[in-house]
Amino acid sequence: MFVPKLDGLTFQEQLGSYLDKINRLRKLVSALSDRLNISAEDKDLAYRTAELAKADLASAMVIEFTVLQGVMGRLLC
């Protein structure tokens, strides 16, 4: 719901949007979980966590109340 909206939020000019950052995190999770022989269940959980790591930044609640960053992400899951 919120993840696609991250494409419009710039993370850093040279690094792109927050969605680009999430895509980089997904690749990192995949590579690390393979190297560490993580179970499929834990790998799926880590992948989903990476996917949602910044999703709350696209919510109106976090824009209005910046102290809720992270808190809203936990509640959106």
What local confidence, expressed as pLDDT, does residue 39 receive? 93
Q: What is the residue whose two structure tokens read 């880590």?
A: 46
Distance CA 63, CA 42 (A): 31
Q: What is the pTM of this model?
A: 0.64
Residue 36 has pLDDT above 90, yes or no: yes
Q: What are the structural domain ranges in the chain?
A: 3-76
What local confidence, expressed as pLDDT, does residue 8 receive? 72
The 10s digit of each residue's pLDDT in 37-71 is 999 999 999 988 887 777 767 766 655 666 666 66
- Specify the DSSP element, H or E, that contains 10: strand 10-12
Distance CA 14, CA 9 (A): 13
Cα 61 to Cα 2, 19, 65, 72, distances in angstroms: 12, 19, 6, 8
Tokens encoding 36: 């560490």
